[in-house]
Structure 1
């Protein structure tokens, strides 16, 4: 029995039967090789939406961010398809027939796999077309190498005609996990998987909705893949009510609407809501044939938030990418003037109220407290928080007695800045009589954010504009740091 058998067992304290080895690892998830920190957080949310306990589906201790393969269990193909049909980071899911460190071991596992899994494809009467693809993680296989891998699996003797395209095509995959050249110059795989394709992710939808093809954009439009990730973290779905209080061009509400949610958005900037050249946020929803959200002009400060919710809450989720002053600064209703003059009657109809700077250490406690008040029980707040990589600790995250953090992943931007995708869930009812206490408690952590999370401004840490050469150097150093961390992790594991 190999290491993979032990990792996927129900319990390491008892003897592992053959059925455990095959059934507990009946499926294999293949992730896309980007945003690795988000793999398991997105998967957990999708499993929860599918009515599955993540602890029953996969063993977290067997998951590694150094390889995009995760053995798991689903009750049937339909559940696997349900999860993949929403995932931004799952490349595909296969029904696992065999695995091992050599092809002989793989063939041995295939011969021992349950007959009902293979019977339909190995019987002489089977006439459905099929194809077999091979690829490796860690190196690229040449055409000749791919053919060699198919020949190694040929002894299983699949029936039916071989086709490259067909509406009823059954696809099989040979997957190799190869160590980087630093540890394995020969390129010999240290693990091989073989199985039948069950479901694919939705990257084709993400590519279709890419910002490059978007009708209306702003300086802070969130990239499409990250928007879908946040929609999954928010558990956006049919009939859900979702709010983005910093809506901008609506990029976060597009995937929520795509998944069937009723969406609302708010922004303090009247210019972005009105748009330009006959284009605005609604243009993006028209572009994809999606239902338009309701948009309001307001901010999320105690003075500016005009939403009144019943005691049990109103929204199923709040998703947002607040403006922290890196790409754009936040504003809220109000004026810095000591004496505020009334607006003349003739200007009231088209009057745009004044705004003032909305500091991030004021914005964050307001965001979390309003979320605790407006969300239904079990509702989620999903937001992005840019942090100084070197000084960040979890202590700077705003806390609230009615909310708990359920996910917190890092997305590297530069060598100095990364952003956290934070997901909070409402666990207690909001008592309006304790509002002052809630805000006081939340502001404690906001002060920590102010004192320990100093970010560079729009241009540079000293306020000077960065040249193209400076930005290239920063990106190069960031890539080098990531490579060193990966090598160190692999060295430690081996």
Structure 2
């Protein structure tokens, strides 16, 4: 390793696993990352799975390390940072959320991510590279799954090795926090093992004694700086009746806290239990936030949900300044009619709708509108700029267009279990004519009662309702396969090039691969497939796709070439 001018060691690693390895063959379908968006332009090859990274990708990283150049630019000096995740919460979604946040803030992935494997990103502490604290806080600040980020000063496999490293830390790295008259405290955190108070105190004392000089003031409440000792132990899955034994220490980190995410504030502020307008299947706040991050939602983005429901997904997107809009076939739900899902409330209150939620959270400037529409025929209502007519349902889907209306489509189509999947019937169903009283017919048509009744009819007579009156169209079952097909076609029509489609599909947990259940479209690149377990037999997959640019080859051609 070559020390930099300021004494910081430049350390870049790329851990690549060969596609033919035994570990690769044992890959599970719980978290399959297919591609990292090439916003930096560093890699433009075919799609890949990080747990089975292809040989030519490993070769690319080797060239980067040997030549020290990315696209003609010198690789900037990076520092190690440890990400602390929220326990075992949605582990399968960690990598794709982090990649999306890096792309959103234009942080190069080649020099940031040290290990792409699923096993590595399942650890409680994940080490990545950032240029400085500002870059680290920019990424972690809006993450749903990351709790804290720490600047790693040294890393070891045991405490004695760590103490030896602390003695050799460069003074410019520690003096600002331990020898400049500031206040500090030291905190010990552990994963997979609970450490007693006495053991923590002894560890803190050993660490401080390892420093040549400590001239700062200890302040346990609201210190200026917080130093952190992170211990990562092997998980212990004890069988009942087996005596407990000491957990094995895998890794030990020492550094300082640089920032934390807003996940706690967001989860508490947007809790579903306190929301005015709620649906039967409103998306969990955390999952909606993850979808917004994967959808690259930012101020000015236009987000659409074609299966809007109560709008919990577009609200999560609007937290970050995106404009939220959507459509749904359920007229009563969009207009706040019927019974409330809240226990004991009964009927919905007047004005209970998505707009009310936006006002509740102070996001009214990000609210566009909702449309009562069938997702299967939504292309008749919306069209991209420059497209004059999409009224023809057989209009060809032009995936090579360099224009688009929407930045992202985020949705959770109904699975047909708790909420039925319906669409407007292609052919009207002939029914027997409706018979109503003269008073009711006058109310419907607006025709005076005297003009409706014939000479020999009384007000109690039943009259036929004319067929040419406005009516709610007949609905029919919407098969899931056709739902996904129409959703992808709609995305190709309306998304801008590079725009994201993030949606969910149900899955029966069997021996088949999760990828076998994923729908495909030649003009949509599959970015990630993440599985959320619901019970022993069922799960659901979150699928992330991006619309190809006009010059990109079809995904079907890429897969066949691979």
**TM-score, normalised via structure 1 length:** 0.78
Question: Are residues 1:399 and 2:520 paired?
Answer: yes
In structure 1, what is the equivalent of residue 312 of structure 2?
251
Kindly indicate whether structure 1 or structure 2 has the higher relative contact order, using CA contacts under 8 Å at least 6 residues apart: 2
Secondary structure at the aligned position of 1:332 is classed as: strand
Which residue of 288, 299, 324 corresponds with 1:238? 299
In structure 1, what is the equivalent of residue 159 of structure 2?
103
The within-5 A match list for 1:137-148 is 137-148=191-202
Which residue of 402, 413, 424 corresponds with 1:322? 413
The 1:328/1:182 distance shift into structure 2, 3 A limit, reads: closer
Inter-partner Cα distance in structure 1 for 2:494 and 2:166: 53
In structure 2, what is the equivalent of residue 46 of structure 1?
101
Inter-partner Cα distance in structure 2 for 1:194 and 1:277: 54
Inter-partner Cα distance in structure 1 for 2:384 and 2:432: 32
Please report how far the alpha carbon of residue 362 of structure 1 lies from its aligned counterpart in structure 2 after TM superposition.
1.2
Secondary structure at the aligned position of 1:362 is classed as: helix
Decide whether the 8 Å contact of 1:309 with 1:373 is kept in 2.
Answer: yes
In structure 1, what is the equivalent of residue 13 of structure 2?
9
Please report how far the alpha carbon of residue 385 of structure 1 lies from its aligned counterpart in structure 2 after TM superposition.
1.2
Please report how far the alpha carbon of residue 360 of structure 1 lies from its aligned counterpart in structure 2 after TM superposition.
0.8
Inter-partner Cα distance in structure 2 for 1:229 and 1:158: 42
Please report how far the alpha carbon of residue 342 of structure 1 lies from its aligned counterpart in structure 2 after TM superposition.
11
Decide whether the 8 Å contact of 1:324 with 1:359 is kept in 2.
Answer: no
Which residue of 401, 411, 415 corresponds with 2:536? 415
Give ranges in structure 2 of 5+ residues lacking alignment. Answer: 2-8, 15-60, 67-76, 239-243, 337-347, 388-402, 435-443, 447-464, 557-562
Which residue of 340, 355, 363 corresponds with 2:483? 363
Inter-partner Cα distance in structure 1 for 2:156 and 2:296: 36
In structure 1, what is the equivalent of residue 30 of structure 2?
none
Inter-partner Cα distance in structure 2 for 1:161 and 1:47: 36
The within-5 A match list for 1:177-188 is 177-182=232-237, 185-188=245-248
In structure 2, what is the equivalent of residue 373 of structure 1?
493
Inter-partner Cα distance in structure 1 for 2:107 and 2:371: 37
The within-5 A match list for 1:191-210 is 191-204=251-264, 205-210=266-271
The 1:258/1:158 distance shift into structure 2, 3 A limit, reads: farther
Secondary structure at the aligned position of 1:195 is classed as: strand
Task: Write out per-residue CA displacement over residues 399-452 of structure 1, whole angstroms, 9 at most, x where no aligned residue.
Answer: 11211101111111111111111100000449xxxxxx99xx9xxxxxxxxxxx
Secondary structure at the aligned position of 1:366 is classed as: helix
Inter-partner Cα distance in structure 1 for 2:299 and 2:273: 27
Which residue of 384, 409, 425 corresponds with 1:334? 425
Decide whether the 8 Å contact of 1:403 with 1:428 is kept in 2.
Answer: no
Q: Cα RMSD (Å) of the superposition? A: 3.2
Please report how far the alpha carbon of residue 12 of structure 1 lies from its aligned counterpart in structure 2 after TM superposition.
7.7
The within-5 A match list for 1:213-232 is 213-232=274-293
Inter-partner Cα distance in structure 2 for 1:140 and 1:12: 40
Decide whether the 8 Å contact of 1:377 with 1:427 is kept in 2.
Answer: yes
Decide whether the 8 Å contact of 2:78 with 2:131 is kept in 1.
Answer: no
Inter-partner Cα distance in structure 2 for 1:402 and 1:267: 25
In structure 2, what is the equivalent of residue 134 of structure 1?
188
**TM-score, normalised via structure 2 length:** 0.69
Please report how far the alpha carbon of residue 202 of structure 1 lies from its aligned counterpart in structure 2 after TM superposition.
1.9
Give ranges in structure 1 of 5+ residues lacking alignment. Answer: 16-22, 431-436, 442-494
Relative to its length, the structure with more helix (as a share) is 1
Which residue of 264, 269, 275 corresponds with 2:325? 264
Decide whether the 8 Å contact of 2:428 with 2:474 is kept in 1.
Answer: no
Inter-partner Cα distance in structure 2 for 1:424 and 1:340: 43
Which residue of 207, 221, 226 corresponds with 1:171? 226
Please report how far the alpha carbon of residue 190 of structure 1 lies from its aligned counterpart in structure 2 after TM superposition.
2.6
In structure 1, what is the equivalent of residue 473 of structure 2?
353
